[in-house]
Chain A
Amino acid sequence: MCPAVMEIRLNTHKVKFLPSGREALVNEGSTIYDAALALGLPLRVECGGKGTCGRCVVKIEAGPCAPTPHASIAPDKEKKGYRLACRAAVAGDLVLYLPEESTLPAYDIDFETVVLSEDDAKRRKALDGLIVSPVVERRTLDLPRPSLEDNLGDFERLARGLKIPGLTGGPRCALDLLKKIPAALRDSCWRVDVTVADPGGRPEITAVGPAGGAPPVGLALDLGTTTVVGELVDLATGACIRRAAAYNRQISCGTDIISRIIAAGRPGGRDLLRGLALETIGRIVERLLAHAGLNAEAVAAAAVAGNTTMVHLLLGLDAEQIRLEPYIPAVNRPPVLRAADAGLPINPSAPLIFAPGIGSYVGGDVLAGVLACGMGRSEALTLFIDAGTNGEIVLGNRDWMMGCACSTGPAFEGIGIACGMMAAPGAVEAVALETPGAQPSLTTISCAPPRGICGSGMIDLMACLFRHGILDRKGILNPQSACPRIEERGGHPAYLVRKKGEDGAAKEIYLTGVDLKKLLLTKAAIQAAIRTMLAEADLDTRDIARVVIAGRLGEAIDAANAIAIGMLPALPLERFEYVGNGSLWGANLILLSRPAREEIRLLADRITYLDLSTHPSYMEQFVASLFIPHTDS
């Protein structure tokens, strides 16, 4: 038999995105979404390209592109060339317009000084009793000049000057740095600042420069599924220099962890996701450095607190097993790496340390928060709640602890909510409602004109609507409540918060029935997890002495309202405490303190993981919690 000789030619087409004018070359049959991904355009693909969220609408200006039926594209718009980017196949050269609402807002937030100084007080409290013993140390050495008698090599001279007790065989050092040492010593006339990293194990020289340089700084990173927050820390004092946040660019591959893992499993996926994570971090670091007037080399250490999947994706590890039974990650406690190994844009020799996790779904972000709130050192029964894209809950005290995770979705972070946004200037963070028909009064972050609603505002609004009978116990807007602010938006009843122009709102702000359903699911997941865990420990809500709320919901959350909708257990308000961004605190602590590094290691040994996905009563608790405040209350 003679095999047929076939010439395989892949047709490629040009896809041009307006208004940026950037162009991608893609194979025929790829989607517009693929083209956007290739260019790194932050397309709003909240469902990860499943064609379900209807957010990635683009307008075809020129070229062939078949319609992509979806509820979010009205027939007249379809005629005008509107398509879903993730469903639209490229069949020829295309020119298309990418509307602003179809892209992820960059929302680079640079936190204001006021916030930082308040946070600093908290940080000092958290640091209280912990010796500042950072993961890297800066020493100023006056080295004797070499002579014919004292003829040690430059590196050995440096090592001798460090006088590290008990060290045999000398410190470690990267080749690139070794190359620079002779010149550095001589340029500074033998009076140098040496940075030594000792994360446990063998010390390493990570920087050598003239004495009197800027003090070394550390980078603490909270690597969230939706939001990434970075902070520059003065390693000598523990003070915060600057903080910044951004949406995780991986959102263009899906808002939830599972979608990300699946995206990473596709050909080239791991590199893509790793690249997006690094891009997000890079952006944050760049801003931090610019504000602080520092260069990348000055960042001498980094600590990351992230959930297990985010850490895998950052390191380019295979995350597939995290979602498959029996849910075994590649690593729970990543070893100390060099920044350069992970591709972090800081001093390449800087040690990169991770908060350890205990399993696929209770990761380093949670342990960092537990560390920061000090519950492992206290006798009081503490309930720790971190409500991010995944809800993680830890219950216990210094004798025992159990932890679990539940899928809450990114609603509280503003994703998937029609007028949702992250907690950034202009976000509605608090809402009050006097009468059912009244205009709700709003508090926005930085008192800026309202731009959207963030998590705490959504909780307030839900509680207000429920209190006034506008929302029924199933979380459904009651059309019979005769509330004049209920109107239809996108085919669903919606509650109008602000019309365009009111209070300077640049666009209309509302909460739809679908949004409310997502919020209900989120609150139910958390409520059910808490109840399942209490039942497992055979404890009653009243036994809880302290509730610590961490996560990006932050202190803006109104506990009374969160209790009213059932998300938080009904306990006296004085038992609630807000640790703020616990992951970030925890990352700070392990960056700054050796005892903290020791404690988090012990926590990882001690916390018992409760798997809710296979727990016989979690589903039932969840159904009971899909009711305001709860089926039984």
Chain B
Amino acid sequence: MKLTGLQIFKLLPNKNCKECGFQTCLAFAMKLAGKQAKLDACPHVSDEAKEKLGAASVPPIRLVKIGAGEREVLIGEELVLFRHEKTFYHKTALAAQVDDGMDAVTLAARAGAASSFSVDRAGETLRLDLIAVKETAGDPQKFAAAVRSVKASSPLPLILVSKNPECLRAAIEAVKDSRPLVWGADAGNVEKVAAVAKEFSVPLVVESGDGIDALAALAVKAAEAGVEDIVLAPLSNSPAARLGDFTQLRRRALARTFKGTGYPLVMAAGGSGYEGAAAAVAGTCKYASVVVLENPEAWEFLPLLTLRQNIYTDPQKPLQVDPGVYKIGEAGDDSPLLVTTNFSLTYFMVSTEIEASEIPARLLIAEAEGQSVLTAWAAGKFNADVIAKAVVAQGLDKTVTHKRIIIPGYVAMISGDLEDKLPGWNVMVGPQESSDIPSYMKDVWAKA
């Protein structure tokens, strides 16, 4: 049960002593409710309150760690059903799958390609997270050898996919201490495989194609056998059924009242090419903590990782666009240059109106922490200094032929300052409202 700030406040001593670092007990309680503060910060809290508040703070979905060291993967601890409520937390881990039917050279090449992919995008390095190795022949030696050669050519943590306890044991021993995720328990082998997972203290996937109740029961069995870190794999017989299963499992986990559901979910995207990729998209959107791609190809990585980046962006940050120069229409060095802040709604409105003016232009977006023009100006984040620096950083001082810049009408007062900071430039004051941009461009710019 999630407690509101006022409910928590009633459990606090109401001394307003400020020792927690907040102005009042209520302020502290509101931060606690938003999980932006820890109860330990209050030196006067009663034991009763500690107990009540503590129970509510255990995450409903278990945190599971896969691998060890620098590339360790964390999954679970999700708190919500929809990303607008609170950001989705541990990003969906993407895994590339190989199998022990491949020769050593192919294995090394595929594992190497998957683990070397790396693209920097919007402040994040996009990379794959895991390599899944599938056992196909029931031969422990062969499986262990394949796992070994994958490990040798990739630093990524592994998923070991096999139903055979002996194969799993051999493979785990082959990559000792690397904490692979073992995808192996089903209704037929759960005791044996759980015993292996417990013996080596590795996380375990339990799978079932008989519905989510059967799956939860299996998870309970694995837990009773002593496995703590469990990942659930509902094997659904259609994309629609899969979406239903993943959704219901997530809901049950968040409700905290269904046994055997408080674990992260894994999905095998199945199929190759566009079909598998489309399934991976669905899994990323709807609750898969791990998505395994069968033999993915290079062109799949960037779209899928970009999607994951999008879905896992914090939705409560103000909507921002990247600072920089945006061309609207076929704009060049002699086109009008306008400037505004990186609040996305501001950008949207301004760019739409410029487009409507039908005069190609360039729009300089200055970094203003995603605030609107007046807010940013009031807080000193959108002033002559910021704009002048952005102009220089984008090289506009060298390329713009007309040396004119149009600033939003609401910050007309910085025009003098800006002319001082941009010697030789003519600062033009645009309209206050973006809807007046078209007429401004036609009447004022065209005549200037």
Also in contact, A258 and B5, with CB within 8 A (given A52-B409, A608-B26): no
Q: Which of B27, B378, B410, B429 has the most CB of A within 10 A?
A: B378
User: How close is A52's CB to chain B, nearest CB, in angstroms?
Assistant: 5
Residues of A close to B409: CB separation below 8 A: 52
Residues of chain B in range 1-26 having any CB-CB distance to chain A below 8 Å: 4-7, 9, 14, 16, 23-24, 26
Select from chain B the residue with minimum beta-carbon distance to A324. Answer: B380
Kindly provide the distance from the CB of B185 to the nearest chain A CB, expressed in whole angstroms: 41
A121 touches B (CB below 8 Å) = no
Decide if B5 touches A536 in the complex (CB within 8 Å): yes
Q: Are A605 and B4 in contact (CB under 8 A)?
A: no
**Are the C-beta atoms of A323 and B378 separated by less than 8 Å?**
yes
- Report the tally of A-B residue pairs with Cβ distances under 8 A: 56
Q: How far, in whole Å, are A537 and B6 apart by their CA atoms in the complex? A: 6
Are A538 and B27 neighbours in the complex by a CB distance under 8 Å?
no
Q: A605 contacts which chain B residues (CB < 8 A)? A: 16, 24
| Residues on the B chain within 8 Å of A358, using CB | 23
A607 B24 Cβ-Cβ under 8 A: yes
Number of A interface residues, CB 8 Å?
28
Contact in complex: B27, A608 (CB < 8 Å): yes
Chain A residues near B380 (CB, 8 Å)?
Answer: 323-324
Q: Which residue of A lies closest to B377 (CB)?
A: A258
In the complex, which residues of chain B have a beta carbon less than 8 angstroms from the beta carbon of A47?
412
Q: Is residue A609 contacting chain B, with contact meaning CB distance below 8 A? A: yes
A289 to B413, CA, bound (A): 40
The answer for the CA separation of A539 and B409 in the assembled complex, in Å, is 40
Against B, the Cβ 8 Å flags (1 = close, 0 = not) of A46-64 are: 0111111000000000000
In Å, the complex CA distance between A402 and B24 comes to 10
**Chain A residues, Cβ within 8 Å of B55:** none
Known contacts A52-B432, A608-B24, A323 near B379 by CB under 8 Å:
yes
A606 within 8 Å of B (CB atoms): yes
Nearest CB in chain B: distance from A407 CB, A:
9
Interface size on B, residues (CB 8 A): 26
User: How far is B378's CA from A38's CA once the two chains are assembled, in angstroms?
Assistant: 26
CB distance from B42 to the nearest CB of A (A): 15
Q: Specify the chain A residue showing the minimal Cβ separation from B18.
A: A605
Asked whether A616 lies within 8 Å of B316 as measured between CB atoms, the reply is yes
B214 at interface, CB cutoff 8 A:
no
Does A631 make an interface contact (CB < 8 A)?
A: no
Docked-complex contact A402 and B429, CB < 8 angstroms:
no
Complex Cα spacing A527 to B289, Å? 40
B375 at interface by CB-CB < 8 Å = yes
The answer to the question of B30 belonging to the interface, with a C-beta cut-off of 8 Å to chain A, is yes
Contact partners of A52 in chain B: CB under 8 A: 409-410, 412, 432
Complex alpha-carbon distance, A539 and B26, angstroms: 15
Interface of B is mostly: helix
Q: Which residues of B contact A51 (CB under 8 A)?
A: 412-413, 429
Asked whether, in the complex, the Cβ of B412 is within 8 Å of the Cβ of A50, the reply is: yes
Which residue of A is nearest B432, CB measured? A52
Residue of A nearest to B409 (CB): A52
Q: Which of B6, B27, B30, B411 has the most CB of A within 10 A?
A: B6
Consensus secondary structure, chain A interface = loop
Q: Is A295 an interface residue (CB 8 A)?
A: no
Q: Mark B23-67, 1 if CB is under 8 A from A, else 0.
A: 110110010000000000000000000000000000000000000
B5 near A538 with CB under 8 A, answer: yes
Chain B residues near A607 (CB-CB < 8 A) = 24
- Judge if A613 is at the interface, Cβ distance under 8 Å: yes
**Residues of chain A with a CB closer than 8 A to B379's CB:** 323-325, 613
In the complex, which residue of chain A has the Cβ closest to the Cβ of B9? A400
A316–chain B nearest beta-carbon distance, Å: 21
Cβ distance A17 to chain B, nearest Cβ, rounded Å = 23
CB B390 to nearest CB in A, in angstroms, measures 20
A401 cross-chain contacts in B, Cβ below 8 A: 26
Q: Is A262 interfacial (CB-CB < 8 Å)? A: yes
Q: From known contacts A258-B378, A538-B5, A613-B375, infer whether A49 and B413 are also in contact, taking CB-CB under 8 Å.
A: yes
Scan A401-419; emit 1 where CB is below 8 A from any B CB, else 0. 1100000000000000000
CB contact between B413 and one of A262, A323, A536, A606 (< 8 Å): that residue = A262
A50–B416 alpha-carbon span in the complex (Å): 10
A50 to B409, CA, bound (A): 9
Cα A262 to Cα B30 in complex, Å, equals: 33
The answer to whether B5 and A609 have CB atoms under 8 Å apart is no
Q: How far, in whole Å, are A538 and B73 apart by their CA atoms in the complex?
A: 37
Residues in A neighbouring B377, C-beta threshold 8 A: 258
B226 to chain A, nearest CB (A): 41
Min Cβ gap A534→B in Å is 11
Cα–Cα distance between A605 and B432 once the two chains are bound (Å): 40
Within 8 A of A (CB), among B300-321: 316, 318
Q: Which residue of A lies closest to B411 (CB)?
A: A50
Question: Shortest CB–CB separation between residue A176 and chain B, in angstroms?
Answer: 41
CB distance from A495 to the nearest CB of B (A): 21
C-alpha gap A539/B410 in the complex (Å):
36
Closest to B381 in A: A325
Q: Chain B residues with Cβ under 8 A from A613's Cβ?
A: 375, 379
Q: What's the minimum C-beta distance from B55 to chain A, rounded to whole angstroms?
A: 19
Contact pattern, A 294-337, Cβ under 8 Å of B = 1, otherwise 0: 00000000000000000000000000000111000000000000
Evaluate contact between B30 and A608: CB separation under 8 angstroms. Answer: yes
Interface set, chain A 141-188, CB cutoff 8 A to B: none
Interface string of A532-558 (1 = CB under 8 A from B): 000011110000000000000000000
For the complex, give the distance between the alpha carbons of A89 and B320 in Å.
38
Cα separation A607 to B5 with both chains bound (whole Å) = 14
Closest to B414 in A: A50
Flag B365-378 by CB within 8 Å of A: 1 or 0 each. Answer: 00000000001011
The reply to whether A48 and B5 contact each other, CB–CB distance below 8 Å, is no
Closest to A325 in B: B379
Asked if residues A609 and B6 are in contact (CB atoms below 8 Å), the reply is: no
Q: B378: which A residues are within 8 A, CB to CB?
A: 258, 323
Q: How far is the CB of A49 from chain B (nearest CB, A)?
A: 7
A537-B413 in contact (CB<8A): no
* CA–CA, A262 and B59, complex, Å: 47
Using known A-B contacts A52-B432, A358-B23, determine if residue A400 contacts B6 with beta carbons closer than 8 Å.
yes
B16 touches A606 (CB 8 A): yes
Instruction: For A402, list chain B residues within 8 Å (CB).
Output: 26
Q: Which residue of B lies closest to A619 (CB)?
A: B318
Docked Cα-Cα span, A613 to B371, in Å, equals: 10
Interface contact B413-A50, CB-CB below 8 Å: yes
Q: In the complex, which of the residues A539, A609, A616 contacts B27, with contact meaning CB atoms closer than 8 Å? A: A609
Known contacts A51-B429, A608-B30; 17 additional CB pairs below 8 A are A50-B411, A50-B412, A52-B412, A324-B380, A325-B379, A399-B14, A400-B6, A400-B9, A402-B26, A536-B5, A536-B30, A538-B7, A605-B24, A606-B24, A608-B24, A608-B27, A613-B379
For this complex, 14 residue pairs linking A to B, each with C-beta atoms less than 8 Å apart, are A47-B412, A50-B413, A51-B412, A52-B412, A52-B432, A323-B380, A400-B14, A402-B26, A536-B5, A538-B5, A608-B26, A609-B27, A613-B375, A613-B379
Q: Which 10 pairs across A and B sit closest by C-beta, in order of nearness?
A: A538-B4, A608-B26, A50-B413, A50-B412, A616-B316, A608-B24, A258-B378, A608-B27, A51-B412, A324-B380
